[in-house]
Amino acid sequence: MNGKIIRTLFKKDLKSCLTNKTILLSVLIPVFFCLLYRFLFSGLGEGLEDFVLNACAVFAISIVPTSILPVMIAEEKEKYTLRSLMLARVSGGEFLFSKIAVCLLLTLADAAAVYFLSAGRPEDFLMYTAIILLSSAGLCFLGAIAGLTAKDQASAGTISAPLTLLAMLPPLFAGFNDTIGKIAVIFPTTSYQTLFTSASSDSSLTSGRNLAALAVCAVWIIGGAVLFNLFYRKKGVDC
Amino acid sequence: MDNNHFPEAGQLIQSGKPVHFEGPLSTVPLLQKCFTPSDGFVEDSGALYDNMSIKQYLSFFAGLSGSKQQLDSAVEQMHLADILKKKISKCSDGEKVRLRIAREISKGAEDFFLVNPIAFADEESKKIILGWMETFYEKNGRLATLSVSHRDTCICPGGHYEILEEGIRCIDQPEVTDENPDLPVISKISVSYNEKTFLFNPEEIDYVEANDGKVYVYVRQEQYLGSYKMSELEEKLTKFGFFRCHRSYIVNMQKVTELVKWTRNSYSLRLIGYGKTDVPLSKGKIQELRGMYEF
């Protein structure tokens, strides 16, 4: 992979995301809900900020990698710009690396906005950022596979909608009953909640639950990378 | 058409002068095989980032290929300097083709393959692109185009070929005629349309086009299938003021309103009622036409 090409692609992809109204709206969903929850539940008193942060960070981790990334990839296919990139000797790996990097940056920006709007403690921010990265990286591979599968932006939307729900809902409903709670553990979004709750309450990250959450993130990243690699080798970027 | 005909296409492309093919878009991948990935490929649609300006788009591709030194030359060759800040979404179809060509020039390509290079109405862009094509007479680079339109193929400066099922046919080649001195002298031209036969007075005919092995007669913007060969029609129509302006075209000079000069080697004629539809005029015929009509 050529660093110069990735840098050029990254600049273009980031700028294109920031000027695309649909993508911007999707990025703003967690921020919007953060403001809405704070307004609606303002009378609930203590614990509100933690609840809002937990919920909205999960939105950020779920929405950007599983719904924006597929659309970004599919848009290039649909408009045949991917073909012109390939003819400009851009490799499929470079193309996807840049998209994933932009997606992670947007996730971090989204999560950071949510963090400060929910009055998160500044001293926990670095740990928060690290946990966000860890839990969203695996989902990026899933989003990239969805993007490779989709022929155009419309089909990318159709494919990504269930993925987004799959990533978003388990941690939100984990507390409803034990069964859902046990199933929710295998999702990286639940891992985020587990790890950040521990980190913000100054508990040890090496406890059993936290190690399990870290393992889940690792499995999603490694499994996602392997699956993505297999898929990419078989299908390519389909231009 | 199968792959076996494409060594022939490859030889034509290697010949040194610009080569223009008329054929279906399905032949694009096969013609592309005559080029290498480092050569310039100009697609006929898509492949543009609408939210970028022309300058941003060219700089982006120059950045990818690391050949920014070609950027100024690309802008100059495609006359884009005045519209560098224009958003691609606001560009005309012709400007978009110029931009795609500039993108390939800025990548440092020397050989080019263009698809439907002048299939748009913007005259200025057409002139710029045809002028650029003509420079290939003096360059080392190879240039090939594929147009769906017979008319567009014939206007491009260079050799003209038609891609058929059975192989590649030279459009510029003189046709074989059956000499038949016993043909009756007629002053009506028979044509068919929807399985009906019509008889037109020669004066009613605007122009005649030979394409795809058939002869089409145009009357009041309607296309009819002719029953004669081009050489027969030329013989019959010359005395009514018609002129064989191209191997594939006979035009009624009474209907001609404009002679368009695209480049040194590329001309066309415009007719009353046909808007900006161009009837190609061979370079070799221009002197003949000048002699006849003293312009």
Contacting residues of A for B48, CB less than 8 Å apart: 79, 81
User: Is the pTM above the cut of 0.90?
Assistant: no
Pick the CATH number of B3-170 from 1.10.3720.10, 3.40.50.2300, 3.40.50.300, 3.90.1150.10: 3.40.50.300
Contact A59, A33 (CB under 8 A): yes
Pairing of strands B189-193, B167-170: unpaired
Topology of domain B189-293 in CATH is OB fold (Dihydrolipoamide Acetyltransferase, E2P) (2.40.50)
Banded pLDDT at B1 (limits 50, 70, 90) = very low
**How much is the average pLDDT of B214-237?**
89
**How much is the average pLDDT of B148-162?**
89
Task: Report how far residue B287's alpha carbon sits from residue B264's, in angstroms, rounded to the nearest whole number.
Answer: 13
Report the residue from A20, A85, A87 with minimal CB separation from B37. Answer: A87
For residue B22, pLDDT over 60 is answered with yes
Average pLDDT per block of 10 residues along chain A, 239 residues long: 90 91 91 89 75 90 92 90 86 90 94 90 90 93 90 90 91 83 90 88 76 93 88 71
Q: Measured in whole angstroms, how far is the alpha carbon of residue B181 from the centre of its chain?
A: 35
Banded pLDDT at B177 (limits 50, 70, 90) = low
For residue B226, pLDDT over 60 is answered with yes
Give the DSSP letter of residue B110. -
| Residue pLDDT, tens place only, B92-130 | 999 999 999 999 999 888 899 999 999 988 889 999 999
With an 8 Å Cβ cutoff, are B64 and A8 in contact? yes
With an 8 Å Cβ cutoff, are B48 and A20 in contact? no
- Average pLDDT of every residue of chain A: 88
Q: Confirm whether the ipTM is greater than 0.95.
A: no
Query: How near does any CA of chain B get to the CA of A19, in Å?
Result: 8
Compute the radius of gyration of chain A from its Cα atoms: 18
pLDDT of residue A42: 75
With an 8 Å Cβ cutoff, are A88 and B64 in contact? yes
pLDDT of residue B117: 94
- Please indicate if any CB of chain A lies within 8 Å of the CB of B47: yes
pLDDT of residue B140: 80
Per-domain boundaries in chain B? 3-170, 189-293
Contact B101, B132 (CB under 8 A): yes
Amino acid occupying residue A3: G
